[in-house]
Amino acid sequence: MNVGVLANQPVTVLKGVGAALEQKLQKLDILTLQDLLFHLPLRYQDRTRIMPIGSLRPGDEGVIEGEVKGADIVMGRRRSLMVRLQDGTGTISLRFFHFSAAQKNNLKPGVHLRCFGEIRTGASGLEIYHPEYRRVDDTVITPVEESLTPIYPTTEGLNQTRLRALTDAALKYLEAGSLTELIPDHLRQQWQLPPLNDAVSYLHRPPVDADQDQLLDGYHPAQRRLAFEELLAHHLSLQKLRNKTRQQGAPLMQGDGRYCQLFLQQLPFPLTNAQQRVAAEIGKDLSQPFPMLRLVQGDVGSGKTVVAALAALQAVEGGFQAAVMAPTEILAEQHFINFSNWLEPLGLKVAWLAGKLKGKKRQAQLEQIISGEAQVVVGTHALFQDEVSFANLGLVVVDEQHRFGVHQRLALREKGRTDQRSPHQLIMTATPIPRTLTMSAYADLDCSIIDELPPGRTPVNTVVISDQRRAEVVQRVRDACVQGRQVYWVCTLIEESEALQCQAAEVTAEELKEALSELRIGLVHGRMKPTEKAAIMASYKAAELDLLVATTVIEVGVDVPNASVMIIENPERLGLAQLHQLRGRVGRGSVESFCLLMYHAPLSQQGRERLSVMRETTDGFRIAEKDLELRGPGEVLGTRQTGMMAFKVADLQRDSDLLTRVKQVAGQIAADSQLTDAIIQRWLGRDEQYATV
Ligand code: ADP
Ligand code: MG
């Protein structure tokens, strides 16, 4: 399909674009005129009006104009030049950390300036650091900008002025030629989407009468038009991936039920209805001739492991191996213990593989895996290294999928793949994914939800308490431990640095050992050796420790039913999903459990809101929706690392209402593979990574 001439015109056709500039543009993924035209402003500055100084708030950005009242060098923490500027409504300071003597001399009292910059609160009240400024003549009216000023995403050595000039030139080409409209006319009309060319030129140079608020918020029809097409491209790409997988054959696992039945008989509890339903959905998938791709969402403690075991047993009944992968060694080990306890009585062999397993022992496990002696293999991502070969891998179970990036998810499909077939895949997550996100980020997966907790659980009581009452909290820990309960004490830090976080936990552990000298206190953090960590966890689980001080490493999956109190320090620093995961470590036994969220005052508005959500509900799905609302999809999915949902225009939160339509349109054009490929190509282009598997 012809994606329009502009898609084939290299940027070098523009005047002044030589090799150096071409390289810089390449860094922005701009190779063609079409790329340049799709390189849309991140935001706009409003330089169309002059704001009264008296009306400014920190965080505002805008044009001001006033008279210099004084310019002084102040010493403070850094030497700086402070220029006081006044209009009829108020005064503001312009602060320069770098300045010349000539500059200072030019900013004499009485001079009129027009400035642009971001307003912040400084030592002297409202300030602008290094504003753009120029002298103006107060006797004539100097015109302001006539349209919103676009601010483009850029790279080193390429400034906004240059990018504006380049897009100006590209827009000239657009007037003469065109970008190919990829959404068929009748669908565009049906959904009231403006033509592509109009939308693109509008967004580069919004006219004077543009609805600026709408544009700044990203709700303009032109933006929505492009967001729509982009979401459509992502959707189609995941769909394509899904179809590709479906075309592959899969191991047939018509299980005869012999192991599953024995397993269920020996379980000390009956399955919940939700577990039965999901197990049946999986069972059906496994008996299909194409690979299962199913995401099981179930709140913490909903009993996903049993469901995974049933799937593994069906694979074994069909004569295949099953691999179960967990994101951390602690968790993998726990699964290994569970699976061994469950499956060995059935006469099955479970192998174990993790990074820490070395030498002969590792060799022995590897041999069991390749010979097929072990029917089920549990481990960390060590399972998917080159040295590991399976005899007959038929099912891959990935637990706690959030910790694995999308790319890892796709890489897994490769393991155990032969010419004829690809293994079934089951992904389990305890972090509920809001529906809007499943519709987009996970459109290639089928979804099951375990929406019921096993009976007999008492919901965790959550208390929000200031750290000024730390002494009371410590007393409460003592009381609980004296009664034979076990307690988690979780330390958090806002810094990304794991080292600092571990340090903080070490300090806290020392303090608590002093304050609670009669208790047995342990410490785990991410910088300890896996063997050390495992040893501490094991003795906590065996109730040889009363209190476990930890960083957020314990967030995922650890199961110690006797632990019924959790203290979380500075919970305001964590996302809701993470808090929910942490809290899920208690409330696993039959005694009443408590979670104390010990915040550091003052709380921000958002912090307060988050903590009260935690107090009000233990429903993981509600918490996930709220998390999405408060933090946005990038944070919720953790896609920063995976780089997956890097949208150019769309914003899943803002544009979530488009998704239903996107899905419909995707259905309407699905049959036209040339068209769908062109749409995918335009938006995901050269790095259509996750559609190539
Ligand atoms: P998660 O979904 O968080 O992975 P687990 O699979 O670890 O949950 O199960 C949590 C606990 O609940 C385990 O101790 C497990 O044995 C128990 N459990 C699972 N299913 C049931 C059930 N149907 N009835 C009672 N207890 C159950
Ligand atoms: Mg689990």
pLDDT band (50, 70, 90) for residue 240: confident
Averaging pLDDT over each range in 204-208, 367-371, 451-455, which range is the top one? 367-371
Q: What is the pLDDT of residue 484?
A: 93
Identity at 253, one-letter amino acid code: M
Ligand 1: which of 266, 272, 304, 306 to mutate, judged by most atoms within 8 Å of the beta carbon? 306
Ligand nearest to the CA of 585: 1
Of 259-268, 286-295, 339-348, 465-474, least confident by mean pLDDT is 286-295
643 torsion bin: left (phi>0), alpha (psi -120 to 50), beta (else): left
pLDDT category of residue 413 using cuts at 50, 70 and 90 = low
Residue 561 Cα: closest atom of ligand 1:
14
| Mean pLDDT of the region 150-156 | 88
What residues contact residue 198 under an 8 Å CB cut-off, 6+ apart? 222
- Going from the Cα of 242 to the center of ligand 1, the distance in angstroms, rounded, reads 31
What DSSP element (H or E) covers 202? helix 196-204
Measured at the CA of 15, the angle between CA 11 and CA 20, to 5 degrees, comes to 60
Mean pLDDT, residues 626-638 = 63
Cα–Cα distance for residue pair 609/652, rounded to 1 Å: 22
Ligand nearest to the CA of residue 300, numbered in listed order: 1
Q: Which residue CA neighbors atom 13 of ligand 1 most closely? A: 303
Centre of ligand 1 from the C-alpha of residue 588, in Å: 9
Which ligand is nearest to the Cα of residue 457, counting in written order? 1
CB 600 within 8 A of CB 450: no
- Name the helix (H) or strand (E) containing 334: helix 329-343
Ligand 1, atom 26: closest residue by C-alpha:
454
Residue with tokens 């063609």: 32
Percent of the chain residues past pLDDT 70, beyond the cut: 89
Among 14-23, 79-88, 534-543, 627-636, the range scoring the smallest mean pLDDT is 627-636
* Cα 64 from Cα 53, distance rounded (Å): 7
Across residues 499-523, what is the average pLDDT? 89
pLDDT digits (tens, 9 = 90+) for 248-289: 889 889 878 999 999 999 999 999 999 999 999 999 999 999
Q: Is 272 in the pocket of ligand 1 (CB under 6 A)?
A: yes
Instruction: Calculate Rg over the CA atoms of the chain.
Output: 30
- Return the H-helix or E-strand segment holding 132: strand 132-135
Q: Which two tokens stand for residue 467?
A: 């750290």
171 pLDDT tier (thresholds 50, 70, 90): very high
Q: Residue 329 has what pLDDT? A: 79
User: Could you give the C-alpha distances from 207 to 34, 141, 168, in angstroms and in order?
Assistant: 22, 22, 14
Identify which of 220, 181, 244 has the alpha carbon closest to the alpha carbon of residue 669.
181
590 lines ligand 1 (CB under 6 A): no
Q: Is the shortest distance between the CB of 559 and ligand 1 below 6 Å?
A: yes
pLDDT tens digits, residue range 421-464?
888 999 898 776 666 666 666 666 788 999 888 887 778 999 99
Mean pLDDT of the chain: 86
Reference 288, options 244, 251, 321; nearest CA is: 251
First-to-last C-alpha distance (Å) of the chain: 23
Q: Are 336 and 534 in contact (CB under 8 A)?
A: no
Q: Measured in angstroms, how far is the CA atom of residue 470 from the centroid of ligand 1?
A: 33
Q: Which residues pair with 463 in a beta bridge?
A: 596
Count how many residues are written for the chain: 693
Query: Could you give the CA distance from residue 579 to residue 624 in angstroms, rounded to a whole number?
Result: 11
pLDDT digits (tens, 9 = 90+) for 130-145: 998 999 988 888 888 8
What pTM was computed for the model?
A: 0.67
Ligand lying nearest the CA atom of residue 304:
1
Nearest-CA residue for ligand 1 atom 25 is: 454
Rounded to the nearest 10 degrees, the angle between the axes of helix 221-247 and helix 659-669 is 50
Checking DSSP bridges between strand 547-550 and strand 486-490, what pairing results, if any?
A: parallel
Atom 19 of ligand 1: nearest residue by CA position: 303
| Minimum-distance ligand 1 atom for the alpha carbon of 298 | 2
* pLDDT (average), residues 93-97: 93
The pLDDT of residue 692 is above 60: no
Residue with the smallest CA separation from ligand 1 atom 16 is 303
Which one-letter amino acid corresponds to residue 599? Y
Closest to 516 measured CA to CA, from 567, 580, 560: 567
pLDDT at 639 over 50: no
Q: Which residues contact 168 (CB under 8 A, 6 or more apart)?
A: none
**Residue-wise pLDDT tens digits, 99-141:** 999 999 999 999 999 999 999 998 878 999 999 899 998 888 8
Q: For residue 584, give the ligand 1 atom closest to its CA.
A: 3
Rounded-to-integer distance, Cα 341 and Cα 354, Å: 19
**pLDDT at residue 1 greater than cutoff 70:** no
Supply the pLDDT for residue 409.
59
Gap from CA of 584 to ligand 1 centroid (Å): 12
Residue 642 in this model has a pLDDT that exceeds 50: no
Q: Is the CB of 337 under 6 A from ligand 1?
A: no
Cα angle for residues 599, 601, 604 (degrees, 5° grid): 95
Q: What is the layout of strands, in order, in the sheet containing 547-550?
A: 461-466, 594-599, 563-569, 486-490, 547-550, 521-524
Compute the distance from residue 81 Cα to the ligand 2 centre, in Å.
Answer: 58
Return the ligand 1 atom nearest residue 306 CA.
Answer: 6
Could you tell me what percent of the chain has a pLDDT over 90? 47
Instruction: Select from 23, 27, 85 the least CA-distant residue to 54.
Output: 85
Query: For residue 395, what are the contacts with CB-CB under 8 A and spacing of at least 6?
Result: 251, 253, 286, 311, 312, 314, 315, 320, 321, 322, 323, 423, 424, 425, 426
Sheet of 321-325, strand order: 350-353, 376-379, 321-325, 393-399, 424-429, 293-298, 446-450
| Pairing between β-strand 563-569 and β-strand 594-599 as defined by DSSP bridges | parallel
303 torsion bin: left (phi>0), alpha (psi -120 to 50), beta (else): left
305 lines ligand 1 (CB under 6 A): yes
Query: Looking at ligand 1, which residue's alpha carbon is closest to its atom 15?
Result: 303
| pLDDT at residue 2, rounded to an integer | 43
Nearest CA to ligand 1 atom 9: 303
The ligand 1 atom at the shortest distance from the C-alpha of residue 338 is: 16
Across 48-77, average pLDDT: 91
- Identify the nearest ligand to the CA of 307 by its number: 1
430 lines ligand 1 (CB under 6 A): yes
Q: In angstroms, what is the span from residue 428 Cα to ligand 1's centroid? A: 14
User: What pLDDT does residue 44 have?
Assistant: 85
- Decide if 314 contacts 283 (C-beta within 8 A): yes
Asked if residue 269 has its Cβ within 6 Å of ligand 1, the reply is: yes
* pLDDT, position 414: 65
Question: Using CA atoms, how far apart are residues 493 and 504, in angstroms rounded to an integer?
Answer: 8
| Ligand 1 proximity of 432 Cβ (cutoff 6 Å) | no
Q: pLDDT class for 208, splitting at 50, 70, 90?
A: confident
| CA of residue 429 to ligand 1 center, whole Å | 14
Whose CA is closest to atom 17 on ligand 1? 303
Q: Whose CA is nearest to atom 20 of ligand 1?
A: 303
Determine whether the shortest distance from the Cβ of 302 to ligand 1 is under 6 A: yes
The tens digit of pLDDT for each residue in 542-570 reads 999 999 999 877 766 567 889 999 999 99
One DSSP character per residue, 634-690 reads HHHHTHHHHTTT--SS--TTTTGGGHHHHHHHHHHHTT-HHHHHHHHHHHHGGG-GG
Residue 690 pLDDT > 50, yes or no? no
